Structures are given as structure tokens and as C-alpha cells.
Structure 1
Amino acid sequence: MSRPRPVRRWRSLSKPQRTEFYVRWSLYAVALAQPVVTLGLVAGSIGHRGVVGWELAAGVTGTLAASVLNGLLIRVGLPAYLGRRPQPYRWVVLAGAVSVATSVAVLLLGPPLESDSSFSTTVGMVTMTFWIATAAVALPIREAAVAAVAGMALVAAPLLWSGAEPGFVAGMAVGCLIGASLAAGTARGSAWTAKVVWELDEARDTQARLAVAEERLRFSRDLHDVLGRNLATIALKSELAVQLARRQRPEAVDQMTEVQRIAQDSQREVREVVRGYRTVELHTELIGAASVLRAANVDCRTELAGADTLPAEAQSVLGWVVREAATNVLRHSEAANCLFRLRVSGGTAVLEVENDGVPAVPAPRTEGAGSGLRGLGERLAAHGGGLSTAGSGSGRFRLTAELPIGARESVA
């Protein structure tokens, strides 16, 4: 039975994408709550003494317009906070102008503020609070604070000009700024969470790239140490042999014999370097894989039975399985748990690697994708073993490597 499309869509997202999706729609819900609050105030104020129809109409109309603009401001403001686009100053000004106009209209069209102004003051403060909280996501913190103070000043100036008591206006403005600061801190904290998750994901990718670059550097350094001096010696002795041969000196044969010996030694040393580079140890790889996975917030467990009885060659082959499996978990899954299980019975070692991070919609395969698993299969086949993979509808993935160990000397 196939899952509903929204469920498949959700499972296909990475952890940073899910976090951003949740934060974005949480902020949208806050913007949609603004007209709901206003309509509730309107319902409670119908027939109330002193509340006029023009005041109710201005409150409902202005709040709906401000809510739509705040939602659009969140749409462009969150990417700006995440560094994907410039700050949307025009949207901030437009949403702020509508919010200020709505607040001023409601406060001036209603009864005198000192008499019966609960509806007017509440709608005005709610409208400004929602806009300030939204602007805090779209703008840097200092600019958002300046915008909040400027917006409240634009609301207070017409009220003072109309003859309202300065103390009442100042108290309303300060109370609104305090409430708006709390709302702005909550909204900005949610956006900060999404930004941190993206930065952690980028840091993990960078760490993987640095690990690959470090390994390449180590390998190139080993090759340079082995071949650099020998190749320079071969070049010099070959040049000397050429000069001696042109003079028909018998020493040219001795020089070429020396070149041949150095070339054979270089070939042997390169083989040793490659053998050392390609040989891994099972316990070392398990410790390294567990450390890297736990650093990526993946709960890693190991169940080893008979690992110490494996011969060195079998440990090396299974160590490569551990390394490739851990790399795949980091690069191609969103796993929260990973298990390495080893069993040795009947002359066969079975290594299983299971995780729960398979996305519902697999990423498109690119050229060369899956070469790591193909290489493991070829390596196991060369030793009489095999590699198999299995997935499940619950998002779990299992990689199984079987390797006959034979009657070889074990390593304790």
C-alpha cells in the first residue's frame, strides 16, 4: 500500500529541509493567527457601547491586509535570514505601513482612548506586534529594533496630535514593544534553529571532503617519498649511461644495470605502499566508523562475535566493508541509528550493517554512482564471498557481506 503523497514528500526531505519546512509553516501559522485574534475581538465587541461600525470595519480590513503582507514577508524574509537573498526592505516597509495605518485608524475611529478603548488598543497592539515579530526574521537584529521603534513612533504621533493623554500613549507603546520583543525573539529563535541545522549539515559535508583530501594527500606524500629519490637517481644514471655509451665506454653497461636494479626496487616499494594503503584493520575501522557516525548524531552500536578469531586477510576485507558502509550512511541517508553486527559460524564470517535512514524517494543516480558497493562486491568475490543489500518499506536498509575464512591462521 503506497503512502499518501504528503507523507512521501516529507520522507524525501533531508533533515535540514524538514527543519526549515517546519519553521516556515510555523511562522505562517503565526501570521494566520492575526486575523483570527482580530475576528475574536470583533465578535466580542459587537453591540458593545462605544464601538462603532467604522472602527470594526477598519480593524477587520486592515488586519487581513497586514496578515497577508506578513505572510509574504515571511516567505522572502526567511531565505534572507538564511543568507540566500538580500534583506527584503521593501516588503518590510510595505507591511509596516499597512500595520501602522491599521493601528492608527482603529485608535482614531474608536471612542476616546481614556474612556472605553479596549477593542481599539488591543487591535492596535496586536497588529504592531505581529509586524515587529515578522520583521525580526527578515532584518538584522539592530535594523529590526530601529524599525520597531520607528513604527511605534508613527503610531504614537497621530494619537498625541489628536489630544490623547501622553502617559496613556507612552504606556501603550512601551507595553506593545515589550510584547513584540518577546514575539520577535521567539520567531527569530525558530529561524536561527533552521540556520544552525543547515550549517551543521554543511559542516558534515565539509568534514567528509576534508577527510578525502587528507587521505589523498597522505597517499601522494607516501608515493613522493618512495618514488621521488629513486626517479631522480634513475634519471641521472640514465643520462650518465647515455654519455658513456656515446663514448663507447664499457661502464655504460654497469650504469644501466644499476638503473634496472633501482627500477625493480621502486616497483617493490610502490607495491608496499599500495598494499599498506589498501590494507585496513577491522577493529580500527569499527572504532573510526562509530566515532564519525556518533559525531553526526547517529546512534551507532556494534555486536561482534568471533572477531578476534578472524585471519588478518579476512579482517582487512571486512574492514573495507565497514568503511564503505559508514561512508554511505553519512552521504546517502538520514539515519538516526546504525548497527554493525558480525557473526562467525561454519567457517564463514557474516557482517551486517543496518540503518534506518533510507529516504522514501531515492536521489537520482549520477554517473559512477554505486561504484563503492560494486568495488566491495568485487573485493569479496575475489576471496570467495558475496555482498547483498535489502531495503524495507519502513525506511531501513541492510547491507550483508559474507566471507569464507577457511583454515587460516587467526589473529588474536
Structure 2
Amino acid sequence: MPILINGLKLLDRSDSSVDYYMQDNGEHILVACGEVHLQRCVKDLEVTFAKIPITISKPIVSFRETVMEGGKTFSAITANKRIQIIATAYPLPENLIEFLEFNFEILKKIFTSKNTQTSEKKNFVSNLAEKLTSCENKLQNIILNYLIGFGPKRVGCNLLAYMGCSGFKDIENDIETIEIDIQSENSSTNTSKISSNDYDIKETLRVGFDCAANAGPLCAEPLRGVCIVVEEIKYIEEEIRDIYGPFQGQMISTMQEVCKSAVLGNSPRLVEGMYICTFTTTQEYIGKLYTVISKRRGKILEEMLTEGTDLFVCKAYLPVVESFGFAEELRRMTSGLVLPQLVFSHWETMFDNPFYIRKTVEEMEEFGDQPVLDNLPKTFINKVRRRKGLQTDEKLVIHADKQRTLTKMR
């Protein structure tokens, strides 16, 4: 590994089009201009800079998870049977999600930095309240009155509400408490510590919610645009000897469990990234261009003829998971005269239910009772779960009766 890291640094110095850095989770990232450039960089690492054999896996694509419906409640109980958490999940509108993603740095500064200005906090809270007008009235009132946090990593586009607090004022008080705690920890003379049972409960809920938002129930990918509402926390007062470890740890795992159950029970969906592609081509090859795009689940946005020429400028959306090998296939189909320019555009929800099962009599008569084999979200979920070492529900034998050989060879 040290030899590879040294080779990556040398490659970064020698090629101005390459960018190399390491993420917080320890992954080493090599950024190139395209697939062909990346293949050339890997070849240079093997031959010139690192001089070691490199095994390349299949491309890894990030997904997100969300919900389409909301309102169904689910519950989970701690291991010592002392506390029960009841929660539900709601989908957030797209403009609110985009607002939270756009203000990622402001959220990060508010919840992690000590030098955040009070006016900046108030502006963010007021802007957030304006964006909430696009939500349903019920969800809007819940968020305004009971919002206690964001996720994942305290700064994401998912919301956590607990019906036992007092809304935005609660968040501002918690921010001030965090800042005072940081100052008291850094000071050797100040031994005071601000804490309360209510604050400890909310902090435990935030940690459990953060774990669930960072790894969703479908394929352990981050959640996007989900509001988890903790409706009630029931306390069971019994004298029971606790043999299940620290109580806060039990609360965190229970909160994580109920969040995942709420997402699974409110029509979960997979969210995929989308590229916006720009092409310049002539009328001769525009039909072949459309064929390649439609084959990869792309969507044509516009087609404009450049004045004074026979060139067309086309724009289309293309799923990130379908983009590998796209440029090579396009060059082959158009004799190298069409080159795509891909830029990440947005996240788009896949509306097919990954757990769809035929239930009506008409569907059973026409298609049978077997699972839907061409369910694309389910296929992606199984691939990601298999790569991460998670359990899948794939069957080795789908049609056992069709494998029988009844004829006898003579």
C-alpha cells in the first residue's frame, strides 16, 4: 500500500489533469478526465510510477435511499424492555432537499464550529422555515414545532423530529449548549458541565438517527430526503436487573432499528445519480445517438440546430450506473464523430418498488406468482448488498419444475 500511495503522489505531480486526495473514511481518490484517461493513469501506475500489478474491480456506484409515502408508525423496544420508541417516516419535497444540500457548509459550520455568528444561524432558520411552506400542512407543523436535528453526520438532507421538544428554539439552545461544553472541555479551570435528561435523550436519538441515515435498510446506502418523526417514547418502570450493557447504547441501537423499520414500511425507493450529457453531431448520426441513449435508460432533453451549419447540439440525462462504456459505444456507433461531455446533474428517484409482488388475481393469472425478474432497483440492491457482504434474498433455483428432463434418451 505505501508503494501505491507513493506512485499516486508521483502521478499527481506529473499529470496536471489528475487530482489525488484521501477522504475522511480512508479511501484514496484518483480523479481523471474520463474513462480513457483513467485507464491511461492506471497503466502508468503499473509501468512507471508504482511498478506493481494492480487488480481492478467492477465500477462502484453510490446510491441513495428514500421513501414515497409517510405516516405508518413502527415501534422498537430496548433490550432490557424498559423503553419503547414509536416513530414514522415522511418524504421531503425536492426544493427543501436541494436547499439543505446547498447549505451543507453552513450547517456544518453551525453544528461543528465555535465561531459561528448568531445572525448566520438566524438567517438559516428563517430560510428553512420559508422552504417548509412546500411541505404538507401536517409535516410542516411537525418540523416547525419538533425539529431536533439533521443527518447523516449532523449536516445532511434528512430531518429528525421528536414530539417532546420545542422546535427551532430547542435547536438554538442545543447549539449553545454544545458550544459551552466545548469551551468547558478546552478550559482547565472551568469544571462546570451543562447537561440535562432532556438533552441526553435528544442526543441519544440524534446518534441513533445518524447511524440509520448513514446506512439505510435497503443496501446500507445513505438516506436522502427523509424526515423521521419520533412520536412517543414510552417508559416502563419495573425493577429489572439490567444485563444488556449501557442504557444509552441500547437507546441508540433501538432508535436505529425503529428508523430503518419506518423507512421499510413507508414504500422505500432507491435513488440514483444522473449525468447531464452534451453532444454535438450531424443529422447523419443523430438516430444512432438516440439509440445508444435509450438503450441505457437516458432521456433526451433538447435538440438544437446550430444556425448556418448542419450540426445539432443535444442534451440528455443519463444514469451514472449506465455511463460506464458509454463513450466507447458511442464512438463505435458513430465512427468516432460524436464525443459526449458528462457532468453530474442531480439525484433521481427510481419509481419501481423493489419489493413489488403480484397480488391481484389478474396479475397472478397472467404473470404467475414468481418474483418480478426485471425489477431494476432490486437488481441494484442485490449487487450492492453482495459487494458489501450483506445478506440477499436471491434464490439459486427460481423455476425448479422447468429444470426437469422428462424425455429419455435412447
If the length of structure 1 is used for normalisation, what is the TM-score?
A: 0.21
If the length of structure 2 is used for normalisation, what is the TM-score?
A: 0.21
- Structure number with the bigger relative contact order (C-alpha 8 A, sep ≥ 6) is 2
